[in-house]
Each structure stands twice: as C-alpha cells, then as structure tokens.
Amino acid sequence: MKQIATLLFSFLLVFSVQAQKPRPDAFPPVPDTLAPKVVNMASTLEEMASWNRYPTYEVYVAMMQRFAADYPSLCHLDTIGTSVQGRLILSLAITGSNPTDNYRPEFLYSSTMHGDEVTGFYLMLRLCDTLLSSYGTSAEITNLLDRVRIYINPLSNPDGTYRSGNHTVAGSMRYNANYVDLNRNYPDPFGTDPLNPLQVENEAMIQYVQNHHFRLSANLHGGSEVMNYPWDSFTSFQQLNEHATWWKEVGKRFVDTCRIYDSQRFRDVTSSGYINGGDWYVISNGRQDYFNYYHNMREITMELSSAKTLSSDRLPHYWHCMSHSLINYIKEILAIPNDTPVDITEPANNNAFRVYPNPTHGHVTVVTPSNVYHYNLSNRPAGIYFLTVEGRPVKVVKL
C-alpha cells in the first residue's frame, strides 16, 4: 500500500510538473550556424562517398545492404520490423569475426525515432562504415569488434524522416505516420497509457530488444546538445537513478572528448553538457526509461545537434567532433561495474542456471550455458519473482 501510495504521489507530482512545464524539444530549434541551411540528398551510393549529404530512402537501404555484402564475416543485416507505411526498420549487427564467443556483451545504437532529428541517422551510417572498414587495420577498432557485439539501427522512424517522399529528408516530421510521438509511446515505470496504443515501430523495437541481451545502448536525438541520462519519468529529487554517478562520468567523458574537436558543442542546455533527464523536463512513456526499468539495460538519450535537421554541409564537422565520443561510448560497456561477481569460466552444472542474487541492491545475474543475464529489481517491492530466462522460470526472492 505504501508502494502504491508512493507511486500515486509520484504520478501526481509528475502529472502536475508536466502540466506546468514546457517541453523544450517541441520548440523551434536553435540554429547551429547563421549560414543558410541546405539539405542536399544523395540519390546514388556514389554520391554518399563524400559524406556531405543525406541519403534518399533507397540509398539508405542500399548502404545497409552493401555493408552486409562487403563485410560478410563481420556483420549481417537484421530487419527489426516495418513502419506503418511499410518502410524497413533495419539494424546492422556487427558481431565480429568470432561468432561462437557468446560471452561478448551486446551494445545497441538506435537513432531518429523523431523523424526530423536526422543528425544521428547520418552519424550512425558513417559509424557503420568506419567500424567495418577499420577492422584489421586499426588496433582500437579491431579490439572493440572482437570484444563487443555492436548493433546499429540508424533510423527507427523512417516514415517521419521521409514524410515528403523517399527522395528527401526536407519536410521530415517528429511523429510516425499515425502522428504519434514514438518517444511518448513506451511503457514506463508507471505502466502503459491505455489511450496511447503501442505503435508498430516500437512494438518491433521491443521485440528486437527482447531477443537480445543489450547491456548498454543509446537513443540518438536532436534539437539540443546534451547527454540526457535516466530517469526521464522522475526528477533526481523524486527518484535518483541508482547509476547516476556513473552516468555523469559517462556523459562528461563523451562531452569532453567532443569538445577537444569543437569547444562550442553541448552548451545549449547545461554548461557541463549532461543532465538528469527529469531535471531538464519530465516526460512520460519514453524509451529510455522503458529500457532501463524493464530490461536492465543502461540506455542514455543523446541529443546531438541543436538543429534537428542539420544543414547537410555541417554533417562532416559533426562527425569530426563526435566520432571519437561515439566509439568511446561503445567501450563503456566493457567498464560497467559488475553488480555481483560472475565467474563465466566455470562450466555450467547439468544445464542448470546459476543465479547470483544481490538482494541488498535488487540486482540478479543469471548465468546459463549460453549467456549471462542481468536483472534489476531495485525499483520493485520486496517479494518473490519468477524471471523468464530462456523460456524457463527462475525464482528470485527480493528481500
């Protein structure tokens, strides 16, 4: 009852805050430059070679297919699902040259669930190209791909991005084809909104995440420049994220590295360049909190350019100042502190799952013969839980 009362109280707080506070990312974006904006499109693969254009939808799909065709030993192309209008939601699975190593952690980048926030779309395509073409020549990238499975979804709302047609991102919009804001459409710590049915794009993303075991992810946006870490549903005063200290360090590393190349970046929300999401503004039904709360993933929202649709001639500069930070953020997965010691070298006993509970902090790690799973029950009340692990129930008691 106390829990219910607390939740209810928090809900009322959130509701009242939302009713009064503006939503900055719904405001017109701040121009990054006074020069006139251009949106040049590449309508052939060759025109993307200089990386100063946005791809048409057909070129985007062809690029993803070509990555998989050119580097078959390093990656394959997953179809996460299709949009309302039938466009593909794609993910390049860069699983490296040693696919039998099941203990490598899984990482996810996903961009542009707001269709007009296309800087991340471009950056993710360029990241795919850099990771694949550097394998075997760059020790840094080779080591990273050998240790982490990297999944890159450059465009999670293609109908919003290509609202004006497949030939251009000019005229793109925030919403999907049903005019739903996909970042207000996930279940959140308060549950689901019955008046806001789950959209096919998000349903597909949830299924994709359920089929994997992502430990770290990022959700790329635009309209501001700030590293927005969990929670979005609460202010830090209401509910501080248990990893808030770690998130601040991660945010600082990302921003500081970027500022080596351009000292003016990440300054339009806070001077530090990072912020607790709810302290900026509270939102409901966002993807970040869904993944952090329900899947024990660590997901951050990266707002990467003040202009939602960046002038295409500015794209190379944003890659120049952010590529190192984007690669370094993937490496953070290797330094996430373990909740409990896990000895993955010990052979599994008779196919049984080994369970390492940490009741004090509400974390549980389950080791199966093929994988390692982390669960976060820290925000749940004490009691008995049955976690579904590889289709089998695992009983856990939260004290």
Taking the least distance from each CB to Zn ion, the nearer of 78 and 117 is 117
Task: Give the x/- contact pattern for Zn ion in 111-130, rule: CB under 5 A.
Answer: ---x--x-------------
The 10 Å Cβ neighbour count of residue 268 is 18
Number of residues written out for the chain? 399
**Minimum separation from the CB atom of position 171 to Zn ion (A):** 17
Shortest distance, position 183 Cβ to Zn ion, whole Å? 6
Helix ranges (H only) for the chain are: 2-20, 57-70, 119-134, 139-147, 158-161, 200-210, 244-261, 277-280, 287-294, 315-331
**CB-wise, 111 or 270, nearer to Zn ion?**
111
Evaluate whether 396 touches 385 at the Cβ level (below 8 Å): yes
Here's the x/- map for Zn ion, 208-227, by CB under 5 A: it reads as -------------x------
In the complex with Zn ion, which residue's Cβ is closer, 59 or 226?
226
Phi first, then psi, for residue 253 (nearest 5°) are: -60, -45
In the chain, what is the straight-line distance between the N-terminal and C-terminal CA atoms, in Å? Answer: 17
Distance of closest approach, residue 303 Cβ to Zn ion, in angstroms: 7
Annotate each residue in 277-316 with x if it binds Zn ion (CB under 5 A) or - if it does not, as one string.
Answer: ----------------------------------------
Site string for Zn ion, 59-78 (x = CB under 5 A): --------------------
Provide the β-strand partners of residue 153: 110
Nearest to 54 by CA among 42, 64, 46: 42
CB of 224 to Zn ion, least distance (A): 9
**Burial group, residue 289, by CB count within 10 angstroms (0-12, 13-18, 19+):** buried
Map residue 365 onto helix, strand or coil.
strand
Min CB(134)–Zn ion separation in Å: 29
Cβ closer to Zn ion: 215 or 308?
308
Q: Least separation, in Å, of the C-beta of 308 and Zn ion? A: 8
Residue among 53 and 114 whose Cβ is closer to Zn ion: 114
Q: Which is nearer to Zn ion, 95 or 176 (CB)?
A: 176
Query: Rounded to the nearest whole angstrom, what is the least distance from the CB of residue 66 to Zn ion in the complex?
Result: 28
Query: Which residue in this structure is represented by tokens 């993710």?
Result: 124
C-beta of 202 vs 376, nearer to Zn ion: 202
If you write DSSP's letter for every residue of 245-292 in order, what string do you get?
A: HHHHHHHHHHHHHHHHH-TTSS-SS-SSSEEEHHHH---SS-HHHHHH
Q: Are 123 and 111 in contact (CB under 8 A)?
A: yes
Amino acid at 212: H
Return the number of the residue (309 or 312) whose C-beta is nearest Zn ion. Answer: 309
Number of chain positions touching Zn ion (CB under 5 A):
3
Min dist. Cβ of residue 113 to Zn ion (A): 7
Q: Does an H or E element contain 218, and which?
A: strand 214-221
Report the interface residues with Zn ion, using CB under 5 A.
114, 117, 221
